[in-house]
Structure formats: C-alpha cells, structure tokens
Copies of this chain bind each other. A is one copy, B any other.
Amino acid sequence: MKPDLVRREANHVALTPLDFIARSADVVPHKIAVVDGERRFTYAEFEDRAARLAGGLAARGLREGDVVSVLAPNGAEMLEAHFGVPLAGGVLNALNTRLDPAAIAAILGHARARFFILHAALFKLGAAALAAMEGPRPAVIVIGASEAERDAVGGEDHGDVLAKAARHPRRAPADEWDSIALNYTSGTTGRPKGALYSHRGAYLNALGNVVTFGLRPESVYLWTLPMFHCNGWTYPWAVTAIGARHVCLPAIDPARIFRLIEEEGVTHLCAAPVVLTMLIHAPEAAGLRLSRTVEVATGGAAPPSAVIEAMERMGFRLTHLYGMTECYGPSTSCFPQEEWSDLPLEDRARLMARQGVRNITLQMQDVIDRETGLPVPRDGATLGELVLRGNTVMKGYLDAPEETENALADGRLHTGDLAVIHPDGYIEIKDRSKDIIISGGENISSLEVEEALYRHPAVMEAAVVARPDPKWGESPCAFVTLKPDAEPLTEEDVIAFCRERLARFKCPRSVVFGPLPKTSTGKIQKYELRRLAAEL
C-alpha cells in the first residue's frame, strides 16, 4: 500500500452508534425523540441528557472500559444510558429486571461494575443486590428515589448528576472494536455469562435492523421489548440512527399498548410470542381493528399459527426473527417470499415458523453436523447445530476464556440450537440441544410435540421436557396452560389429541396443567420444568 493511500483521519473513522445520536441531534434537533409517560424529549434534549450523563460519569472517575450497570424499566434514562455510558468510554451493562438480588449481586461482582444506576421502581431489588455483594461495591446513582432511599444505598440523585454535569464532548472510540455493552445471558442454561459487544458490531446490527425492519424517519417504535434484552435487540441505536421516535413502555400492559398504538401513531414494535399471546387474549382485543398496519417483529420462539392469525386480524403484520445474546439479538429473519402471500394461513404459518435467512449484516448462517463440522444436507430433515459468523457476533464472554473458545471455535458461533436447513435455504430450529428428549433411543423434538399441543383449541401455552423413565430412559412430559375460557381437559384428552398428530413414541406420557414458570425475559424455564417432571 502506498503511504498516501493508507487509512487516515479524513477517510477512516470508527463505526459507532454514538454517531447516530449526534447526527439525529444535528438533523432533527426539534423532533420528539423519546416519549416516556408524560415526558417528551426532542433529539437535541435526548443528546444533551446523554452527554450530561457521560459528563457526570467522567467527572466521577469513570475510565475507559469501566462497566456501568443499569437496573431500570424501559424509559428515557435507560435509552440515554445506551449513548451516555459509551460516550464517557464506559461499557453499558443493562440488567435484567426480573432477576433476584443474588443474581444481580453476582453480575455486579463479575462485571466489576464501577457505577450502578438504579431506578426507584426497582429500588428494593437493587438495594438487596447491593447488600448481597461480597466484593467492592459500585458507586450508586438513583433515578427518582426519595432522599431516604438514596441515603440507604449511599447513592446520588440521577437528576442532580445530570443537572450539575458538563456536557461530555462528542467523541468516537479509539478503536471500533472497543466494547460498548456487556449482556449476561438469561440463565436458562446454567451460570450466567457476560457477552461483550463492540461499537462496530452494535453500529452494524443497528443499521441492519433499520434495513430489515424497514424503519423510516417517520416511524414510531413502541418499547414492548425490554431494553435489557440484548440491548433491546440494538433498537435503542437503530431507532435513533434513522431519527425515528421511541415510545417507552415500563411494563407489558395490553390496554396501554393498544392505547399508545393509536395515540402515538406506533408503526413498529418487537415482542416475544408470549406478549403477543397476552395481546390477543386481552379484553381490549375483542373486535379490535387498528387504524393502520403495525409491523411486529417477534422472536425467542416461533409464533404459532393461531397467534399469527389473531394478530393479522387486528391489523398487525408479523415477522419472525431469531437471535440470541451472543449475536446482538436478531441475526436471521423469516424473509417473506412474494408467493407466500397467496397461501392458506396454515401453510403460511408453517413457513413463517422457520427462523429463516441471515440478516443483511450477518455474513454466514449454516447448520452443521456436530461430529464432522460439515454442513448438513438441505433436506429439511437432517438435524445439526446452527452456527453463525459475522461482525454481529459477540467479542466473547467476559473473563471466561474457555466458554469463549467453545462458543467461537473453528470460526463460527455455536448457538447450541439444533436445526434443519430446508431446500430453500431457510433454517428451522427444532430444539435447543438440551431440549431433545431421548426415549428408547429415539430422538424426540420437544418443539414438535409442543407444536402439536398448540393446535388444541383449549391450549394457551405448552412446554414439553424429558421426564426420567425407568423403561425408556426418558419420556415426554407436557406442561399445559389452558385458555381462561377453556373447558376443563384431562391428561387422557391431551394424549389422545397428540396421538392423532404424532408418532406414538413422541406423545406425552404425562400432562401437567397450570401456569408455566418463565425466565425474566419471558422464556419458559425448561430447567425448572425438568426438575418438576423428575419429581412427579
């Protein structure tokens, strides 16, 4: 390379989401950026508050690479932290609000959090976590709490910090590979691990989301997805990048969601299928028809056909995404082919239940044989492990070199999800590896059994796990929640229903009725169900 053609300041700058808020504050300074209850902030105010948070943190000694943990519901302060923390050179650790104090204490300790921003709505949880900590404690900044509460944790008031702080000047990280966020996996799979995201990856994933989800400057994004969940799938950065509007929602409340959609002109939202189920079964949903189409991205589990149908009837349009903490949230989506729109709902739902194809910013997805590491045939039948590669794969786990090595071995992120690849190149996840039930030497996909259960008109939610079986090794055990207005159902009814749809060996041998335990991100806690099944 000739010396005059090397990277230089004029033509090579770090990719960073910090640029998104700077640009939107320049281009649409007076536009409302954030709606949070009665509060409304313009883009100029949004950037100003983020810059003051950064200035406040810097003044309190934050150094490059320090972790700032935040425990707060979806709201303006959490959005601001997505920009203010990295602006000061810090790494944002958005905490799952549904964890218990011990788990939060463990994360604060493992992350060596230098600051802890705690919202009054979660004060008890945060205070208990601080009390449970063993090592050094972070400096505490409390949002909206009373003086007594602040004193109890030795915390400063967030509003005071902002009011007294100087605006941190705009900056880019020295290297786009620098960390911007630290996200702990939700813990369905053993001890939590902290996945590190880079500025580069966050920038690209956010821009990819703008393209994949079709965000435009006039879009209005409703925060049904928790911002602590893979940084809200990177939408705090994506919505800001395009200069659209954030509408915050501190908790899932169907009546409020329907009201905000109409009052604020919501055009886009993301939500797990369990939230869609809540929307469908809310009293307000009866006969509802939205005044305009609302785009909904859903992931974490495939949306059942009944959910697709009910959502579409109200005026929502669903896209099924797939992702995980290790890849900045969404990485694949079930891109709808033109010809699908003519298909009957059942066929369309079957196609849409697939996790689909790689998003524009992911470089590679494939399904590999776990023994040989080679791609499985594209036959829609051969099970293998889903692997991903690209700039939107995490840097690795914090202080866990062995787990990092396992996850990123041989140039691919090993998702641990078992999938098939269809002839059209769409992947479909059949199970988490640990969710395979092995009964009499035969593999049974718990997802396949669940899909059969979901077809029963009385079933609202279902989960299937392995139950130890003296004869078969394991047998499928079903946990079922019935719809509020459903007629009573017996174990035999359920098993008979499955036998009409599944091979006999795949049918549940035991059925338990009642509410399902969920993780903090709304995923069904299969390990808890496994424990219950073992005790039956």
Query: From A198, which residue of chain B is reached at the shortest CB distance?
Result: B11
A311 within 8 A of B: no
**Cα distance, A396 to B440, chains bound together (Å):** 67
The answer on a CB contact under 8 Å between A390 and B425 is no
Whether A19 sits at the interface, judged by CB under 8 Å, is yes
Copies held by the complex: 2
* B5, B210, B360, B400: the one within 8 Å of A404 (CB): B5
How far apart are the CA atoms of A457 and B103 in the complex, in Å? 75
Please, how many angstroms separate the alpha-carbon atoms of A68 and B389 in the complex? Answer: 31
Q: Are B363 and A395 in contact (CB under 8 A)?
A: no
CB proximity to B under 8 Å, residues A12-26: 12-13, 15, 19-20, 23, 26
CB A214 to nearest CB in B, in angstroms, measures: 6
Q: By the criterion CB–CB under 8 Å, are B210 and A211 in contact?
A: yes
Bitwise interface map of A from 8 to 46 toward B, beta carbon under 8 Å scored 1, else 0: 111111010001100100111101000000000000000
Which residue from chain B places its CB closest to the CB of A359 in the assembled complex? B23
- State how many angstroms separate the Cβ of A152 from the closest Cβ of chain B: 36
CB distance from A407 to the nearest CB of B (A): 8
Q: How far is the CA of A482 from the CA of B106 in the complex (A)?
A: 78
CB under 8 Å from chain B, chain A span 361-402? 363, 389-391, 393-397, 399-401
The interface residues of chain B lying within 8 Å CB-to-CB of A425 are 26-27, 29
Q: How far is the CA of A5 from the CA of B91 in the complex (A)?
A: 15
Query: Which among A74-82, A279-287, A408-416 touches the partner chain?
Result: A408-416
- Residues of chain A at the chain B interface (Cβ within 8 Å): 1-5, 7-13, 15, 19-20, 23, 26-29, 31, 172, 177, 196, 201, 204, 207, 210-211, 214, 216-217, 241-242, 335, 337-338, 357-358, 360, 363, 389-391, 393-397, 399-401, 404-405, 408, 411-413, 425
